Amino acid sequence: MSREVAFLADVGGGSLFQIAGGTVTGADHLAVGRPNQDAYAYRAEGGCLAAVVCDGCGSGARSEVGAALGARLVTEQVLGALRRGGDIESPETWEEVRRGTLAPLRAVADGMGGSLAEVVSTYFLFTAVGLAISGDKACTFSLGDGLIALGDELLRLGPFPRNEPPYLAYGLLDRPPGGEAPRFTVHRAFPASALGTALLGTDGALDLLESSSRQLPGGGGEVGPLSRFWEDDRYFRNPDAVRRRLALINRQVARPVWNEERVEREGGLLRDDTTLVIVRRARVTSA
């Protein structure tokens, strides 16, 4: 049986949301053989929904580990805090999420041995950008840089001085950079009934935004606006459709120039790893 949507979330009160996501390795990472250091996760339970994209620190040799763990952990901690009755706008709720995410990271880091600072900087530095829904309330939140789109409203997070965003895992260190452990920021809080569409992106999504009027590598039309992702039903019918579109935008094309006896190469348009999660209110179709 085929799936009609990538993911369907029921948050109660007759509210259903469709969710899709995808990620691709940035052209700069491909050029040097580095892996994709982004990750994403989303889940709904008990009338609550959490969706998160994470970007591993580029200078961390294995920060894809932290991003993958972080996406799952932050998602679960947000769901847990909200199911326990946490107020979506309360700083105490987000402090609970922060501490709840750090606890298993600390257990893993301690079990890896060696210098805690070295383990954290190598494996566990990641940013987080997310959306949370609990009953009749919703909010967007982050810890670090990235992109949030609520309909036509765009919120660019960063850049930060020296291109050094805060990382949640600094809270594992006795002396975090800047002297204080970074904390989550709630950017928008609003009635869940007002949510039509949302897009969460790692900072690589800024390349996507700025490439909207450029031609796809190898031809095939323009990249197009971000709204394409939440307006086009195909991205919610096939769980892999978002990744495929990003891969098309970031493909590398080689064309032979016969009369000059050379090969012309065209690179992808997304220099950094790029990850999206798209959320929209489920569309009701007549039988």
Distance CA 280, CA 233 (A): 10
Give residue 6's pLDDT.
Answer: 63
- Residue range 114-155, pLDDT digits in tens: 999 999 999 999 999 999 999 999 999 999 999 999 999 999
Joined tokens for residue 270 = 């997304």
Tell me what the mean pLDDT of segment 213-240 comes to. Answer: 95
Say yes or no to pLDDT of 4 above 50: no
- Residue range 181-196, pLDDT digits in tens: 999 999 999 999 999 9
Element containing residue 56 per DSSP (H, E): strand 48-56
Task: Pick the closest to residue 239 from 19, 25, 36 (CA basis).
Answer: 19
Residue % of the chain over a pLDDT of 70 = 97
Residue with tokens 């002297």: 179
Written as one string, the DSSP assignment of 134-168 is ETTEEEEEEESSEEEEETTEEEEE-PPGGG----G
Contact criterion met (CB below 8 Å) for 135 and 158: no
Among 7-11, 34-38, 140-144, 181-185, the range scoring the smallest mean pLDDT is 7-11
Instruction: Please tell me the chain's helix, strand, coil percentages from 3-state DSSP, rounded to the nearest 5.
Output: 35, 30, 35
Among 90-94, 174-178, 211-215, 224-228, the range scoring the smallest mean pLDDT is 174-178
Residue with tokens 């569409």: 197
Give residue 62's pLDDT.
Answer: 96
**Size of the chain in residues:** 287
- Residue range 55-88, pLDDT digits in tens: 999 989 999 999 999 999 999 999 999 999 999 9
Give residue 12's pLDDT.
Answer: 84
**For residues 246 and 6, which has the higher predicted lDDT (pLDDT)?**
246
Distance CA 107, CA 65 (A): 15
Task: Pick the closest to residue 131 from 156, 148, 144 (CA basis).
Answer: 148
Residue % of the chain over a pLDDT of 90 = 83
- Residue range 40-49, pLDDT digits in tens: 999 999 999 9
Confidence band, pLDDT 50/70/90 cuts, at residue 284: low
CA of residue 102 relative to chain centroid, distance: 19
Confidence band, pLDDT 50/70/90 cuts, at residue 3: very low
Question: Coil, strand or helix: which one is 1?
Answer: coil
Say yes or no to pLDDT of 285 above 70: no
Distance CA 238, CA 162 (A): 39
Give residue 287's pLDDT.
Answer: 44
CB-side exposure of 2: number of CA atoms within 13 Å?
6
Q: Please provide the average confidence, as pLDDT, over all residues in the chain.
A: 93
